[in-house]
Structure 1
Amino acid sequence: MTFDRIERSTIAGTVYGHVDSAFAELADIFTANFEVRGEVGASLSLFHEGRRAVDLWGGRKAVGGDAWDEDTISIVWSSTKGITAIAAHHAVEKGHLDLDAPIARYWPEFAREGKEDATVAMILDHSVGVPALRDPVKPGGFADFDYMCDRVAAERPFWVPGTRHGYHGHTYAWTLGGLFRRAVGVPLGDYIRSELAVPLGADFWLGLPTSEHRRVAPMVYPTDPLFGGQSRANHAIENEPGAPFTLMMTNDGAYDCNDPAYWPVEIGSLNGMTNARGLATLYSALANGDLLTADTIARMGRTASASHLDATLLMPMRFGLGFMKTTDNRSASHLVDCTLLLSEDAFGHVGFGGSVGFADPAARMGFGYTMNRMGAGVMVGDRAQLLIDAAYRALGYRSKASGAWV
């Protein structure tokens, strides 16, 4: 590899890092994101064949604020789910979990209200049926792990588990987290640190200690209408107070991702703290077979649930067991930032507003992108997708016309 050192001034601050000359287009796009696409602060990392080929960061932690440094981290919202899913599959390999087992084997209290036959795999593919809670969450409830586990265990499912899928945007934290503590015996955050992050040298935290708070870039919430304002989900939030999407977006106990009181707690669906290098490091270990067996990686990459109408998001979605798969919503002109174009071999997860991490075992690529200015969609916008596109082009892929890079 031939590395080029990067130091470029932009209207939002300076971009730093290095890039393998074969991936030089990514540095150009990353810089342009600050100049023409409203980026405030961000990081980008790509590993190819186990070697770091792109490592960039820049901009500011807040509009007009301090510089985004090499070790700056931020909340990555649902990109957290991909890492907790890696932990779940790791626990399966260690014999702590059986994907086909009923949840009741590990968590008897969950087996009620029609969830008696729900399996572990149904948690991971978003078909277990509790994407939201009907009764109000108490103020600050997201910071009370046991309370939230009790709530999801007691909830009546919105459909018969396993018969359809609907994105468990928030409740995934406690369906998977509650199961994990009972089956494995330790919190997800502790397991990720000891079994994944520390051994691999990944700067990822689920439950951020106070000593690390100084590194956090707060999120800049989107100002554009959610999903573009014309989606079925927008219609639901305006007209259907009992719809899963409405409840997911409104019944959160006044959660605020920028409140440091939430940073030290485990919310395994949304409050992972990391940067692009942290995400790419973890996914690179999967892409190169350095962490889990080939059988496990094949299972992780397989599509497990997909439909033209996710029961929560009310748009086409595709999921693996804990991961998002390439999902092409470009033909739906009313949906903004609701597409993610990868290869069919790839699997990973996006975070609300646009962060993303994924592994592509066929390309032997681990990819991570994080930022603080959020977009309006549930998938990625131009800032991330243009970077992903450039990565695939650099590796010899030719087209995404089919909805997947080939």
Structure 2
Amino acid sequence: MKPFSREVSHDGRIYPITGFVDPHFAAVAEAFAANFAAGEEVGAAVAVTVEGRPVVDLWGGYTNATFDHPWQEDTIVNMMSVAKGVAALCIHMLADRHLLDVAAPVATYWPEFAAAGKEALPLRFVLDHRAGLPYLTGKLPRGSAYEAHAIADALARQAPVAPPGTDPQYHVMTQGYILGEIVRRVSGKTLGSFLREEIAVPLGLDYAIGLSETDQLRCANFLLASDNRLLAAIRAPDTPESIFWAQLSATEDFNSHAWRSAEIPSANGHGNPRAIARLYGALACGGEVDGVRLIGDDALARMTAEQHHLPERLVGRHYHQALGVVLNSPPVSYMGPNPLSFGHQGAGGAHGFADPGVKLGFSYAPNQFKSNPAIPTRHRLIDATFAALG
């Protein structure tokens, strides 16, 4: 790769863009710069690997709404539900080691989960959002979301709100708490610790679920407009939408110390696209990169096998759903031309995916929440990436 540096302007404000790009992927750098020039970014980063080798690693703009702190090479940001794919990988790695079976009941590993008629509910229904536990029906105090054991205990006691295995209901927050508790009981580690020790450190990834005090200092602010629908849902009292978020702080803006330091495996993975592109690049190469094997062929095939393509009842989006990751599902989870590409998008724009056909890993992360679920800024980068491949 060659160094890339440019300044673009929009409405009189200068946006610095820096990084590295293989000359064959120069169009990705141009598309990235054009997003800033059009005024569609505050700060963002994008990374691409091909056959395990980085070909794009770019960052630009600012980490805050006052435009006075430029995005740095080591800046990290909340990538929201990108974390769901990472959390699922932790589960499938344990299955690859024959420490659990995704077809077995959750209660096999978590006996208390058998309460309220859930004794036969299989782990695979948690992974594909058909467990019938998309939100908590019982009241918990505000702030309970930062205490994983409190949510896990409540979910163990709760009866499904729909028959398991029927229509999917996107488990926005709850999926991660369930997977986290299973990882803890099977491995003896929290999901954040498992991720760090078994994935991030071996691969050199700058991505974590549960940030240290030091890492919080280099975290970009996640920017929600005051009229943002997601922010309104979080701060609403007892409305249908707020049921997803009722256990957060009433003033949560996704930049609090509590949010960043907690382990919320469905939603608060913080990192940069360099890390997620490398991770999915390894999966695109069959689960191994640079001599580090994360997962075997059988487990990877199981993880990426489509489970359903059914209308989703709560969020209303339609995915080709696999076991913890989604397959290429444009426009919301667009991953280029290959229908077998897989990964996970995050609310607001972040994305990470693997295209095993061309052994490609891709990731993009902005800090300004994008309300359009199609994320045009992201689509331009993906299209430029595949155009460069020819």
* Pair in the same fold by TM > 0.5: yes
1:187 counterpart residue number: 190
Deviation at 1:132, TM superposition (A): 0.7
Superposition deviation, residue 199 in structure 1: 0.3
Letter in 2 for 1:159: A
C-alpha displacement at 1:394, in angstroms? 1.9
| Superposed CA offset, 1:249-282 (max 9, x none) | 5554534411012222211011111001011111
**Residue in 2 that maps onto 1:221:** 224
CA gap 1:223/1:24 in 2 versus in 1, 3 angstroms: farther
Alignment partner, residue 340 of structure 1: 334
Aligned match for 1:143, one of 146, 149, 154: 146
In 2, Cα distance between equivalents of 1:226 and 1:324:
24
Query: Which of 365, 368, 376 pairs up with 2:363?
Result: 368
**Distance change in 2, residues 1:159/1:225 (3 Å):** same
Measured after TM superposition, the shift of residue 316 of structure 1 is 2.0
Distance 2:374 2:44 in 1: 14
8 Å contact kept, 2:224–2:253: no
Cα deviations across residues 282-307 of structure 1 (Å, max 9, x unaligned)? 11111112132222222222211221
- 1:107 aligns with one of 104, 107, 110: 110
RMSD, aligned α-carbons: 2.2
In the TM superposition, what are the counterparts of 1:319-334 in structure 2 within 5 Å?
319-329=321-331
TM-superposed CA distance for 1:154, in Å, is: 1.6
CA distance in 1, matches of 2:81, 2:359: 23
Change over 3 Å in CA distance of 1:274–1:268 after alignment to 2: same
- Residues 173-231 of structure 1: per-residue CA shift (max 9 Å, x gap): 2111112111222101111111101000111111111111111001011467649x9xx
Match of 2:4 in 1: 6
User: What CA distance in whole angstroms lies between the structure 2 residues aligned with 1:223 and 1:353?
Assistant: 14
Query: Is there any run of 5+ residues in structure 2 with no aligned partner, and where?
Result: 289-293
User: What do residues 94-113 of structure 1 show as CA deviations (whole Å, max 9, x unaligned)?
Assistant: 12211111111111111122
Q: Is the 8 A contact 1:142 1:148 kept in 2?
A: yes
Which residue in 2 is equivalent to 1:392?
Answer: 386
Distance in 2, matches of 1:253 and 1:9, equals: 38
Whether the 8 Å contact between 1:99 and 1:119 is mirrored in structure 2 is: yes
The alignment status of 1:48 with 2:43, answered yes or no, reads no
**Residue 127 to residue 33, structure 1, CA distance change in 2 (3 Å):** same
The match for 1:153 among 147, 152, 156 is 156
Other-structure match for 1:72: 75
Supply the AA of the counterpart residue of 2:363: G
User: 2-side partners of 1:173 and 1:26: how far apart?
Assistant: 33
The one-letter code sitting in structure 2 at the alignment partner of 1:121 is R
In structure 1, runs of 5+ residues without a counterpart are 330-337, 397-406
- Runs of at least 4 residues off by over 4 Å: 222-227
DSSP 3-state at the match of 1:388: helix
Aligned equivalents of 1:36, 1:136: Cα separation in 2: 44
Tell whether the 8 Å contact from 1:222 to 1:353 is kept in structure 2 after alignment: no
SS of equivalent to 2:58: strand
Supply the distance in 1 between the matched residues of 2:219 and 2:200 (Cα, whole angstroms).
18
Counterpart Cα distance in 1 of 2:114 and 2:4: 54
Q: Aligned letter for 2:356?
A: P
Alignment partner, residue 96 of structure 2? 93
Identity %, equivalent residues: 35
CA deviations over 1:72-108 (Å, ceiling 9, x no partner): 0011111111111111111111122111111111111
Aligned partners of 1:37 and 1:383 also within 8 Å? no
Does residue 20 of the first structure (1) align with residue 22 of the second (2)? yes
Q: Provide the C-alpha distance between the structure 1 equivalents of 2:208 and 2:317, rounded to a whole number of angstroms.
A: 31
SS at match of 2:361: strand
Q: Name 1:284's counterpart in structure 2.
A: 281
Residue 256 of structure 2 is matched in structure 1 by 259
CA distance, structure 2, for counterparts of residue 356 and residue 92 of structure 1: 25
Check 1:269–1:131 CA distance in 2 against 1; reply closer, same or farther (3 A cut).
same
Match of 2:354 among 359, 381, 406: 359
TM-score, length-scaled by structure 2:
0.90
Residue 276 and residue 69 in structure 1: after superposition, are their counterparts in 2 closer, same or farther (change >3 A)? same
Name the SS of the counterpart of 2:315 in structure 1. coil
Query: How far apart are residue 37 of structure 1 and its match?
Result: 4.2
Amino acid in the other structure paired with 1:44:
V
- Aligned equivalents of 2:200, 2:159: Cα separation in 1: 35
**1:225-253, Cα deviation, whole Å (9 max, x unpaired):** 649x9xxxx9xx99x945xx552155545
